Amino acid sequence: MAGRVAGKVALVTGAARGQGRADAVRLAQEGADVIVVDIADTLPSVTYSSPTLADLDETANLVEKTGRRVIRVQADVRDLAKLRTGVDAAVAELGGLDIVVANAGICVPAMWDEVTEEVFDDTLGVNVRGVWNTVMVGAPHLVERGGGSIILISSAAGMKVQPFLVPYTTSKWAVRGMAKAFAAELARHNIRVNSVHPTGVNTPMAGEAIHSAFARAFERDPKLAGMMTNLLPVTSTEPADIADTVLFLASDESKYVTAHELAPDAGVTEF
């Protein structure tokens, strides 16, 4: 069914590449104009390659190829004032906001006694404070619009224990709780808030650096490796697979779904 979010405007953070790019393009394919936000810069504590302005431009180009309008915003989601300035200007240009996808996040695996303060602070800053900031700048526009959908991207690590991910797991359980808390208070404005909990996704975040970190950790404690096993016979999913779940939550097909966790997790949370 084409045009499932036709005429709507969406905000997607962490949109320069990977999951955020897939979400932005999928929503545009179904009729939404999109505000794409990304830091597009280096975060020193992250061990994998950082997104660039060229990556953000490529996402915008892919959205434009669908025939929809797009506005780029370069901002660190931890910077509330800069994020609000950029989003408010984009919303004014596009005429409103209906969908918020708080996707920006980082993941730096390490054994518990090798986690640095910098990694812990950056992970909680981006994955928790950044999500809160995104809702705080987006939700007022949805209230003004008379309703909408807010989608917080958590993880399978926000539904079960996953090893060697203390900061990440902490952050993703926080996102799960945050979705429910916002859902309770925003319901009177006809705003739905849900969280999405994928298994591993084939993005730059899940590249060689992270696989190497897990391999070293599993050598130290091999019995924990099974906790990362999917029930279905796949090792990871693709960004487009998760984007389909985001589209469902953004569309009227889920108009009575709120305060829930949707888990396109290949069954990993069942172990």
Question: How many domains does the structure of the chain reveal?
Answer: 1
Q: Which residues contact 14 (CB under 8 A, 6 or more apart)?
A: 20, 37, 38, 51, 77, 103, 104, 105, 153
pTM for the full predicted model = 0.96
Question: Where in the sequence is the domain holding 196, given as residue range(s)?
Answer: 9-263
Q: What are the residue numbers of the active site? A: 168
pLDDT, residue 213, reads 79
Residue 217, domain member (yes or no): yes
Single-letter amino acid, residue 170: T
C-alpha distance from residue 11 to each of 21, 156, 164, 233 (Å): 11, 23, 31, 33
CA distance 175 to 170: 9
Say which CATH number the domain at 250 has.
3.40.50.720
Residue identified by tokens 């302005």 is: 53
Residue 215: the pLDDT is: 80
Residue 255's pLDDT is 98
The pLDDT value given to residue 77: 98
Check residue 125 and give its pLDDT. Answer: 98
- 186 within some domain: yes
Q: Which residue stretches of the chain have pLDDT < 50? A: 1
Residue-level pLDDT at 86: 98
In tens, the pLDDT along 98-117 reads: 999 999 999 999 999 999 99
Please indicate, yes or no, if residue 235 is contained in any of the structural domains: yes
Residue 218 lies in a domain: yes
> What is residue 160's predicted lDDT score, i.e. its pLDDT?
94
Q: How many angstroms separate the CA atoms of 267 and 265, rounded?
A: 5
Q: What pLDDT sits at residue 250? A: 99
**Which residues on neighbouring strands pair with residue 10, listed in sequence order?**
34, 99
| pLDDT at 2 (0 to 100) | 67
The three state secondary structure string of the chain is: CCCCCCCCEEEEECCCCHHHHHHHHHHHHCCCEEEEEECCCCCCCCCCCCCCHHHHHHHHHHHHHCCCCEEEEECCCCCHHHHHHHHHHHHHHHCCCCEEEECCCCCCCCCHHHCCHHHHHHHHHHHHHHHHHHHHHHHHHHHHHCCEEEEEECCHHHCCCCCCCHHHHHHHHHHHHHHHHHHHHHHHHCEEEEEECCCCECCHHHCHHHHHHHHHHHHHCHHHHHHHCCCCCCCCECHHHHHHHHHHHHCHHHCCCCCCEECCCCCHHHC
Q: Report yes or no on 214 lying in a domain.
A: yes
**Structural domain contains residue 112:** yes
pLDDT of residue 218: 84
Quick check: is 4 in a domain? no
Residue 108 included in any domain:
yes
